[in-house]
Amino acid sequence: MSQELCQAVCHLDFDRVIALLYRGDDINFRDESCSDSTPLHQAIMVESFRMAETLIARGADVNAADRANNTPLHSSISYKNLELAKLLIDSGADVNFRCGTGSVDTPLQAAAWNNQPKIVEALVAAGADINIVDRYGQTPILVAAWKGHREILEILFSQGAVVNTYISAALGNIQEVESYLEQGGDPNARTGRTPPYGNTLLYFAAANNQIEVADLLIKYGADVNGECEQGFYPLIVASQFGFVEMVELLIDCGADVSVIIDFGNGALELAAENGHKEVVQILLERGLSLEGSAYGYENHIERAMDEAAAGGHKDVVRFLLLQGVTISKTAIHAAGERGHKPVVEILIAFGADVNAKDYSENTALHKAALKGHLEIVQLLLISGAYVNARDNNRCTALHNAVSLGHLNIVRSLLASGAEVNPRNQRGCTPIQLAKCRNQQDIVEVLMAQSLKIGLDMRSVCSACQYRRSRS
């Protein structure tokens, strides 16, 4: 079965892959359980250059498309993997392949969207059409301008990409924009027909920090609160990128500091998420209302705290705390899960509840143990984290550490009094979980720690029994 080939590729089992190909398995088999991806797509997903090279050398189709009509080259770009992208290009991948789905179409547009200048250069060198137009009427340079990716914007401009007024606004070509306006051009022109579709000239200036162009457009009547693509506004994109002077200009000219985009994110949340403390400070000083819910949070400041904690932006977190902001229940989860020890330390110092639970009843200890952050696990434990706390599946932090093979964390939890044999909702203990995953070193540690396990070691957890019945 070619399904076996896909599984072998995902597990990087090279010997098995070669054996299955020798047996005659289809190297271009489409896996229905994985969006009709081929083994080569899946090698890209696990980011294995050697596996991709092995498959290509044995005849894998580098231009095979999955269910969304993405080729392996599209996938390599979405994973931002220059090495794999170059391998595929050198192996004959179509650099102008149109997928016709999603937000971007061709590989060059995908690279511009994902801010991959080196991949852009490789695609252009391989003959990618720099002026290709997608079904939305976008060229690669327009995508780069929309996303505020200045380096790619400059690369494509230097290679002769066609420039219009929107691109001129993004490049800061004040003469071109002024000429357009003096000839009666609409200062509120947008790339789409009607709001909220398309982006305005002011949006392109704001996204690329072109102060003079923005000021000129506003003087000619550009709407500072004009909604743009995906619900963005000039102020929100300027806040996201941390363009302090642009943020101040827009607010001075009447930009609404309280506007939000999809899922409740606003200028404050995006500035905090990206670590722009000065912008956060400006927004708070310039009248941002903290009232109202924000997609799962009681207010915007609480969400901003979580975003800053998740991003590891300790300066933003400290600034918000010094303003008297109440610590959200899950800020410590966000920082702990992503391994941001300095942020966890700050939150604890300001009184964060180390035993607070999220919507799945996970504590920060559950999150840190699962992700393998030993120092954070130890910090939480010495700060009073309850080592045997249960989530809504009745799993403890020990279950989580065992599930991904974090031996040092297993040892740390046991040393702090973790129960050796707690059963989760499916009746599975950590030692059964370790046996199921062939983690003999963890099994030995758990057995040594327990004075009386009281288990039939031949038993396996229900998940293992299910898996065996399927094999």
Per the domain annotation, does 295 fall within a domain? no
Domain count, the chain: 1
Among 279-288, 418-427, 455-464, the minimum mean pLDDT is found in 455-464
User: Is residue 451 pLDDT above 70, yes or no?
Assistant: no
Range of the domain at 424: 362-471
Average pLDDT over residues 209-235: 95
pLDDT in tens, 74-119: 999 999 999 999 999 999 999 999 987 666 789 999 999 999 999 9
Q: Is 466 helix (H, G, I), strand (E, B) or coil?
A: helix
Among 38-52, 254-268, 402-416, the minimum mean pLDDT is found in 254-268
Per the domain annotation, does 229 fall within a domain? no
Per the domain annotation, does 403 fall within a domain? yes
Q: Is 190 helix (H, G, I), strand (E, B) or coil?
A: strand
Per the domain annotation, does 13 fall within a domain? no
Q: Which CATH number belongs to the domain containing residue 437 in this structure?
A: 1.25.40.20
pLDDT in tens, 70-81: 999 999 999 999
Cα–Cα distance between 189 and 241 in angstroms, integer? Answer: 23
Cα–Cα distance between 137 and 199 in angstroms, integer? Answer: 12
* Closest residue by Cα to residue 313 from 344, 282, 285: 344
Average pLDDT over residues 298-311: 86
Cα–Cα distance between 246 and 208 in angstroms, integer? Answer: 10
User: Is residue 455 pLDDT above 80, yes or no?
Assistant: no
Q: Report the pLDDT value the prediction gives residue 134, as an integer from 0 to 100.
A: 84
pLDDT in tens, 177-213: 999 999 999 999 999 766 667 899 999 999 999 999 9
User: Which has more confidence, 290 or 216?
Assistant: 216
* Closest residue by Cα to residue 323 from 350, 297, 341, 303: 350
Per the domain annotation, does 382 fall within a domain? yes
What contacts 24+ positions apart, CB below 8 Å, involve 277-280? 277/313, 277/315, 277/316, 277/319, 278/242, 278/244, 279/239, 279/242, 279/243, 279/244, 279/247, 280/304, 280/316, 280/319, 280/320
Per the domain annotation, does 211 fall within a domain? no
Place of tokens 């580098």: 62
Per the domain annotation, does 455 fall within a domain? yes
Residue type, 230: Q
- Please tell me the pTM assigned to this model: 0.84
Q: Report the pLDDT value the prediction gives residue 195, as an integer from 0 to 100.
A: 65
pLDDT in tens, 330-370: 999 999 999 999 999 999 999 999 999 999 999 999 999 99
Of the pLDDT bands very low, low, confident and very high (cuts 50, 70, 90), residue 375 is very high
Per the domain annotation, does 350 fall within a domain? no
Residues 6+ apart with CB under 8 A from 255: 224, 225, 233, 234, 235
| % the chain with pLDDT above 70 | 91
